[in-house]
Amino acid sequence: MDTLVYGGGAVLFFALIMLSIALHEIGHMVPAKLFGVKVTEYFVGFGRTLKSWRRGETEYGFKLLPLGGYVRLVGMYPPAKDTGKVRAGSSNPVAGLIDASRDAEWSEIQPEDDGRLFFQKKTWQKLIIMASGPLMNIVLAFFILWGVMGTYGVYQSQTVVQTVDQCVVPAQEAGRECAPGDPETPAHAMGLRPGDRIVEFNGTAIHDWEQMRVLIRENLDQPATITVERSGERVVLPTTDTMITGVPDLNNPSKIVEAGFLGVAPTVERVTGGPGMVVEQMTDMTVQTFHALLRFPVLVYQTAADLVTGQERDPYGPMSIVGASRAAGEISSTDQISAADKVASFVSLIGSVNLFVGLFNFVPLLPLDGGHILGAIIEWIRRQGARVFGRNDPGYLDTAKFLPVAYVVFVFIAVSGVILIAADVVSPIRLFG
């Protein structure tokens, strides 16, 4: 039964993510059609066509490999200045690279298509067309997470003390009991107790635990004076130096850094919230995603190295859609959390993946949507600059010249995908022990 639930959860999650990707491409297609761009294809998946039908000038359908989708917009790149040829392109990375050569498809452009080609559209129209795809995923993430946070809630650390560590245990030895010679924690030394509500740290009013955590880390080994509410009274605890120790980095939990340490754990409560809370959570997730994207090549390399050497995989490392689907299956079948927590975690995972897909596609490199957005912005800047300085209109920016970069990016994405899928199959990240 557990296997059936696991498989069902994984398949359902995968199907919902494919639906999200299909909506991503709809995000491109709808404004493109509204602005008069010729759209010839809309497909879910890649490879051999399984089923298709035509509505007007657009062919819709499903491909054999359910690993994404694409919408084909005609005239993604302007004509080459030497030949006047125009290629048909795609908003999707894989389909765009298949169509990489301008000469290969310029014959698809008919004389009556003049004015309906993507590159001919105004800058603001191009921006809307290309941004609407990833924005679709971000909007989906917002409403999904709002649904979870507004109805069931999310678990958040509070400013009330749950436990006080008696001794300092190195991060790499977390979980063991205190041993002779282990130094006393500052929290234990100053007399913090479970149930204390922390209201001030060195004169700064404390509003949430995240604020408290940052203040502790930044205090290093300097004196700390903490005020708590205890039994209805405010109590100023004896000033004690915090201490420097190795703790997980806030933006890269797999990395241990030196920071201030107190030795206290907060209580965790389930709280609900509205749009403001969702925006705050998504902002934090966006910052974390940004840092993860900056480290992505290194993280992929480390995953590959761990896979080859048989080392234990970094639990905070990246995963593919296969890994995310396995995680969804694990959430569905575990007996370590309640049924309500399962549903909330499952749905939140869908929202988180949508947020990542949206942000990833905004990376300003072809063949990603962000590359086309950057091209439209550069084209506008060139034209405005020419207008200001009284020069001739430089014309359309030939983004086809950036195709070598697109190929490199595509190869990297493809190789990374293969590595992560292999790692997710051989050595998956497990959410529960």
CATH class of 155-271: mainly beta
Catalytic annotation, pick one of 25, 41, 105, 330: 25
Distance CA 223, CA 409 (A): 49
Structure confidence by residue, pLDDT tens digits, 345-395: 999 999 999 999 999 999 999 889 999 999 999 999 999 998 888 888 888
Q: Which residue has the higher pLDDT, 233 or 99?
A: 233
* Burial of 265 per CB tally in 10 Å (0-12, 13-18, 19+): middle
Mean pLDDT of 400-421: 87
Phi and psi torsions of 254, nearest 5°: -75, -10
Computed over every residue of the chain, the mean pLDDT equals 87
* Burial of 78 per CB tally in 10 Å (0-12, 13-18, 19+): buried
Structure tokens at 378: 């550069």
Spell out the residues 6+ positions from residue 399 whose beta carbon is closer than 8 angstroms to its own.
76, 77, 78, 366, 371, 372, 375
Of 76-90, 121-135, 287-301, the range with the lowest mean pLDDT is 76-90
Mean pLDDT of 329-342: 90
User: CB neighbours (10 Å) of residue 8?
Assistant: 14
Peptide bond between residue 297 and the one before it cis (omega within 30 degrees of 0): no
Q: Indicate the domain borders of the chain.
A: 155-271
Confidence of residue 64 (pLDDT cuts 50, 70, 90): confident
pLDDT reported for residue 110 = 78
pLDDT reported for residue 85 = 52
Structure confidence by residue, pLDDT tens digits, 7-17: 999 999 999 99
Q: What DSSP line would sit under 298-363, residue for residue?
A: HHHHHHHHHHHHTPPPPTTS---HHHHHHHHHHHHH-SSS-HHHHHHHHHHHHHHHHHHHHHHHTS
> What pTM, to 2 d.p., does this model score?
0.83
Percentage of the residues of the chain whose pLDDT score is greater than 70 = 92
Closest CA to 282 of 156, 143, 155: 143
Q: How many residues does the chain have?
A: 433
pLDDT of 94 > 50? The answer is no
Mean pLDDT of 98-111: 59
pLDDT reported for residue 244 = 87
Helices within 45-192 (DSSP H only): 93-98, 102-105, 123-151, 186-190
Active site residue 25: yes
- Highest mean pLDDT, choosing among 124-128, 229-233, 281-285: 124-128
